[in-house]
Amino acid sequence: MAFEVIQSIVEAEKEAETRKAEAFSKAEQEKEAAKKQADQLLAKAREEAKQQGQNQVQQAVESTRGDIESIKMAAQKTCAQVAEQAAQKKQQAVQAVIGKVVGNHGKC
């Protein structure tokens, strides 16, 4: 009887060790699967954030296009005005230089 009790205890210990090893193995597999899933979710989140950032930059560029065109047109208008004023004053400048070179009354 004592032998049978000892034998059942040994068998129970072996079974407990087997279950413990199986549980440990299963836990490791679940841990690896969870890590893989977490890595995939993180990569997806990073890609989404990158895409969202690119979209925001594109929207910012698009929203400023009108402002850029307005500034460009204003600069072109100002340049045209300056060129017109320069052309108008060119003749005055030429007369002033001739006056200095030749004299105020055409005398040398």
Q: Would you list the DSSP string of 1-25?
A: -HHHHHHHHHHHHHHHHHHHHHHHH
Total number of domains in the chain? 1
Does 38 fall in a domain?
Answer: yes
Does 106 fall in a domain?
Answer: no
Divide the 108 residues of the chain into consecutive groups of 10 and give the mean pLDDT of each group.
84 92 95 96 96 93 88 93 87 81 63
Does 51 fall in a domain?
Answer: yes
Calpha distance 4→80 (Å, rounded): 112
CA of residue 81 relative to chain centroid, distance = 40
Does 28 fall in a domain?
Answer: yes
Does 98 fall in a domain?
Answer: no
**Residue 66 to residues 32, 54, 55, 69, 77: CA-CA distances in angstroms?**
52, 20, 18, 5, 16
Does 67 fall in a domain?
Answer: yes
Q: Which domain holds residue 50?
A: 1-77
pTM over cut 0.75: no
Does 86 fall in a domain?
Answer: no
Does 88 fall in a domain?
Answer: no
